[in-house]
Amino acid sequence: MHDILHGRNIFKLPDHIRASHLSAAEGSLENLHLVSEAIVNRSTKFRSQPSALHLLPVFYKHVDPSLIPAQDEIDAIISSRTRLHSLDAAIISLKSLSFFTELPVFSLATETCPYLWARIWPWLKFFHTFWEYLPGLDPTKEDEAIACHCFLIARLRTHPKVQEISSEQPGLHCMLAQGWTKLVLDTNSTPKLLLAQTSTLLPALINGFTLPEVFEEAVDGARGSIKRLASAVLKQMSIIMTSAIKDEAIVTCIVSALHLLTPPRSPRRTEWVSILLHGGIIPCIVSLLRTLVGTPFTTIAFKEYVDHAAKEGFNNLRYYMTIPPGYPWIVEALQAGLLRDLVSYTISGAAYPGPDYIADLIGPNLPPGSLSDESYMSGLLPLSLDEAKTLANDPRFRKSPTFAAWQNLLESTKSRMEVVDGWESAGKPSFLACHSMTCGKIERKSRFKCCSGCQSANYCSAECQSADWANGHREICNALCHDRASQPELVNTRDRSFMRALLHHDYQRYLLDVPLREIRFMRDSPGQEYVVIFDYTQAGGRVHVKVDSKSAYFEGAGVLGAELRVQLQRFTRSGGRMAMHFMHLVEGMKNKGRLIPLRAARSDLHDGLVEIAKSSPFGRRTREETLHDEHRVEALIRKTSQLPVIH
């Protein structure tokens, strides 16, 4: 026992209160209430004086763990509805200690924290477990008591020894999460008061939060609901964003809130991240980071603390932005002003995120990650660039390592906008090819009817639909229906006209390069089927084209989606009127291959390439062979220029 907690210190109290406090220590609930009220209600100046520390032994005595009933005693108490004096005294004392540890005078007694913890923790676990069953205790007051206990936990855990002792004690985060979620979600306190209260609780809650067992405890504390826990995180963010940064306590609250976003190493990680994303966590992170990076520092130590938190926050931002499918979260980040902020951070020379992070985020993530979203390419990205251009003209930014990535972004956006503008000015045309491989008709989308079952196959006539039904569609139609929901990357319910228009534009740009690569593959691997890959995952939005064997491309892919199997079968039966083209896109943290076949009304182009591949009179991979192939392919392109070809 620490000397401050010894009972003899009660005799050092002023004469006019000594007797009542001794009586309270000896077990008088009436006097114990009076002593408690003097602290809780702030009704006396005495509590701010150093001699107020002599009150601690009064409460310390009543939280002796030896007074906690054993299991058989608890059963007897519950069945007989007996109210124990010791339980009432412990409840009053725990509440009093919670308020006492908030007093400035307690800073003179912080060395008592480990001794207080050793006594109060068994009691806290006891009441957390049995409150609703104990006679005389109001079940509706349990959350209020838990909240009070949480503040006591948080204040005692500021002592390093208590942190060490309590870090592995089961049930701690369950209790903290229960108190915190109750406070944030179920009270009518003002944002200012909530911020002050949660700035005390959050640092205790975040300790070890990413560990699976700790995260599950926190979910249990949120009434077993991961959605309630996530709602509390989002509400906490909104509270912080409405507050001006006036002191280090608010910054500490921001830092703690950002730590809550670190994805837990739990089986429920995916569910947790999804709830936060759909709840609007991306704009919250962008806003909080803007506040954090702009915070003035009072000490070097505090600057290092905030820099570390900013680093974690930016890592979280990149993580959440790249969760598949990626582009909705990038859109939210840009709408929240991320691009303008990144330029501003570079100019200010902020320690975090730093030029490498900014260049990485601007470079490989923004352009290719959202190619499938026409509204992003045609509106939001250009608007975000315009908002940031004035800042980007700053000489400090132009001299920074980030500027090259910025230039690449401008160039790739300009290139993409030309595609968008041309497509939109033409009325967003969409063409289809009949899915019956006995037909080569290519018409506007409005001329076709889709299968009413799977809505994945399109036909120019009832005759073609009947022919395809007999040729295998009957067996695959139900599987295609399942694909629409289970594998949207293969059968996308969105109108993919823009993606097809973009791919076709780039195919036309590489109209000489692609056939030459196909010819080279035919010579290197005669008789093998192949795929053409348009890779949009490179930094700056540049397109890289390559040809690979079909078997190598799908090696290790496992069970292929029904739509992909159908397209492969059609490719084999197409007689050269179909080519397997894939767009490789960044969708979240993964590179996804989107199958968008090339369809031609006739096989003239394919037949011509096969003939060229067989007819070279020169040595392999020589300059003469290359020139020969280029001349032959250019002639073939001119010859087939009127051939209807679509993606």
Query: Domain coordinates of the chain in residue numbers?
Result: 1-160, 431-486, 497-646
Instruction: Work out the angle at residue 421's Cα, subtended by the Cα atoms of residues 418 and 426, and round it to the nearest 5 degrees.
Output: 125
Residue 568 scores a pLDDT above 50? yes
Which range, 2-6, 111-115, 314-318, 456-460, has the best average confidence (pLDDT)?
111-115
Please state, rounded to an integer, the average pLDDT across all residues of the chain. Answer: 85
Q: Using CA atoms, how far apart are residues 7 and 158, in angstroms rounded to an integer?
A: 25
Q: What is the pLDDT of residues 157-187, one digit of tens each?
A: 999 999 999 987 899 999 999 999 999 998 7
Q: Using CA atoms, how far apart are residues 611 and 518, in angstroms rounded to an integer?
A: 12
343 neighbors 379 (Cβ within 8 angstroms): no
**CA distance to 166, 513, 605, 630, 639, per residue, from 636 (Å):** 77, 13, 7, 10, 5
- Of 497, 222, 547, 212, which Cα lies nearest the Cα of 373? 497
Q: Is 598 helix (H, G, I), strand (E, B) or coil?
A: strand
pLDDT of 20 reads 93
Surface-to-core class of residue 569, CB atoms within 10 Å of its CB (0-12 exposed, 13-18 middle, 19+ buried): middle
Surface-to-core class of residue 295, CB atoms within 10 Å of its CB (0-12 exposed, 13-18 middle, 19+ buried): middle
pLDDT of 465 reads 94
156 vs 348, more confident: 156
Residue 463 scores a pLDDT above 90? yes
**Mean pLDDT across the stretch 283-290?**
90
Choose the weakest-confidence range: 50-59, 91-100, 175-184, 489-498.
Answer: 489-498
**Mean pLDDT across the stretch 623-641?**
93
Residue 491 scores a pLDDT above 60? no
Structure tokens at 11: 């005799």
Band (368; pLDDT cuts 50, 70, 90): very low
pLDDT of 162 reads 94
Band (274; pLDDT cuts 50, 70, 90): very high
Q: What is the pLDDT of residues 510-533, one digit of tens each?
A: 999 999 999 999 999 999 999 999
Band (221; pLDDT cuts 50, 70, 90): very high
pLDDT of 589 reads 54
**Mean pLDDT across the stretch 304-323?**
84
Choose the weakest-confidence range: 216-225, 270-279, 491-500, 625-634.
Answer: 491-500
pLDDT of 493 reads 42
307 neighbors 573 (Cβ within 8 angstroms): no
- Of 416, 454, 407, 408, which Cα lies nearest the Cα of 435? 454
Percent of the chain's residues with pLDDT above 70: 90
Residue 43 scores a pLDDT above 80? no
436 neighbors 464 (Cβ within 8 angstroms): yes
396 neighbors 527 (Cβ within 8 angstroms): no
105 neighbors 48 (Cβ within 8 angstroms): yes
590 neighbors 537 (Cβ within 8 angstroms): no
Band (257; pLDDT cuts 50, 70, 90): confident
Band (291; pLDDT cuts 50, 70, 90): confident
- Of 290, 188, 194, which Cα lies nearest the Cα of 238? 194
**Mean pLDDT across the stretch 400-415?**
80
Length of the chain: 647
- Of 386, 381, 437, which Cα lies nearest the Cα of 412? 381
Supply the pTM of this predicted model: 0.73
485 vs 135, more confident: 135
**Mean pLDDT across the stretch 303-323?**
84
**CA distance to 129, 356, 409, 479, 539, per residue, from 405 (Å):** 57, 10, 6, 44, 8
Band (67; pLDDT cuts 50, 70, 90): very high
Residue 251 scores a pLDDT above 50? yes
Q: Using CA atoms, how far apart are residues 161 and 608, in angstroms rounded to an integer?
A: 80
Band (6; pLDDT cuts 50, 70, 90): very high
pLDDT of 490 reads 45
**CA distance to 243, 322, 592, per residue, from 586 (Å):** 36, 9, 6
The one-letter amino acid code at 446 reads: S
For residues 441, 445, 448, 449, the Cα torsion angle rounded to the nearest 10 degrees is: 150
